[in-house]
Chains A and B, each alone.
Chain A
Amino acid sequence: MSPRIKISILLVGLGLITAFVPFKQNKANQLKPDELLEKAMDEQYMFYVDKVARYVVDEDSSVLIIDLRTPQEYKAFNIPGSINIPYKDLLHRDFGGYLDQHKVKNIFYSNGDILATQAWTLCSRMGYKNNFVMQGGMNEWYNTVMNSNFSGERISARENALFETRFKARKLFTEINSLPDSLKVKFVEAKRKKEMKLDGGCE
């Protein structure tokens, strides 16, 4: 038997095996189930609402807040600066660039915990890094940021800073979400320019 025939038969054999092996996604960054479970139980991937409020107030460009609710819910009101990736479209290729990246921290939120943690777990399974969850979702945002009031007699410096951040986040949330849709983007741009001027920066 000539070497050419041997190689041909070998290649056909390998081809047949490949054809019957079920398709699996690229496993370069993927974790095994027990590794994923261990990662999932790590609290560092859950952000308290106060931490997210701080990012919002600071307009921190190192984070991207992702609203997983429906477009209707997002349009009604959302956390300032967030983008909308409806949970049902989470794994659509149009959003791959947002989820599979190494530049910013993505913070998922929905109304509660279920959709956001499902999204986090699926993204982590696919090897996407830099994804986090805002614990408690929009319900906890309301509970902590929108409805909280200091009720003690003396306030510590730490508590003062915390309530100041909550107050600023609440004000921003109410102002932006009260605007008609057409003005929301313009409001954010104008606010940024105003703050740059106050800081002595350039436009």
Chain B
Amino acid sequence: MKLKKGLFLIIAPVIIILILLIIKSLDKDSFELSAKDVHQISLEQKHILSVEDYKHKKYSKENFVLIDLRSKGEYESEHLDGAINIEPVALFKNADIEQNKSGVYYVFYSENLAKTTKTWTILSQIGYNNIYILDVPGELITEDLFVKDSLPLGNEVLKYKFQPDTLIRPEINN
């Protein structure tokens, strides 16, 4: 009897701690990946799709779903062909976005790439590995974007060249 009581006193706290840990691990409002993990993923640059990349993937019959992260009003005013509207704050609760569903990929865009990138970085840390950023400036979000011939350079491509002051560096003229 005394031995059973002793064992109970040991096992009970261990079981309580285990239960608490299981509850904690089931908490969906927590991050799956560390910041370092997502930093490593981001270095591969595979999550950024140019409009050309997107068109190529779309036409190769892959299941790419466009997600417009802008407000409902902006979306209703004009949006990319085939896009559905989900604002970032609603993403966590939205059943349209299925985490890591095989063969389904979500491509985010919004009025600016800062907003799109922040959303991607947070969802990637939650564990989504089937989302992409569409590298398109907000002013080009029009219904006919995918049929345009000329498209802008990527957001991280420097579009200007530094011109040194030739009075300070006269040898540049020579």
Q: Which residues of A contact B (CB under 8 A)?
A: 1, 6, 9-10, 13-14, 17, 21, 24-25, 32-34, 36-38, 40-41, 46, 73, 76-77, 87-88, 90-91, 110-118, 120-123, 125-126, 133, 135, 137-139, 142, 146-147, 174-175, 177-180
Contact = CB atoms under 8 A, between A and B. Distances in A.
A33 B122 contact: yes
Contacts of A137: 156
Given A14-B14, A40-B119, A177 B156 contact: no
A133 B114 CA distance: 9
Nearest to B157: A111
Contact of B160 (A122, A139, A178): A139
A112 B113 contact: yes
Interface string B155-166: 111111011110
Contacts of B11: 13
A188 B155 CA distance: 31
Interface of B: 2-3, 6-7, 9-11, 13-14, 17-18, 21, 29-31, 34-36, 38-39, 42-43, 48, 88-89, 91-92, 112-115, 117-119, 121-122, 125-126, 133, 135, 154-160, 162-165, 168-169
A185 to B, nearest CB: 15
A9 B160 contact: no
A12 B117 CA distance: 45
Contact of B125 (A14, A114, A125, A179): A125
Contacts of B112: 113, 135
A83 B3 CA distance: 66
Given A17-B17, A88-B43, A126-B35, A117 B160 contact: no
Contact of B122 (A24, A111, A121, A147): A121
B29 A34 contact: yes
Nearest to B118: A40
Nearest to B24: A21
B117 A118 contact: yes
Given A38-B89, A40-B118, 6 more contacts: A13-B10, A77-B162, A121-B122, A139-B155, A139-B160, A142-B159
Contact of B158 (A88, A122, A126, A139): A139
A33 B35 contact: no
B131 to A, nearest CB: 14
A95 to B, nearest CB: 12
Nearest to B27: A32
Given A33-B126, A113-B155, A114-B48, A17 B14 contact: yes
A87 B10 CA distance: 50
Nearest to A76: B162
21 contacts: A9-B10, A10-B14, A17-B14, A32-B29, A32-B30, A37-B89, A40-B118, A41-B115, A76-B162, A111-B157, A112-B113, A112-B155, A117-B118, A118-B117, A121-B121, A122-B35, A122-B38, A125-B35, A125-B125, A139-B159, A139-B160
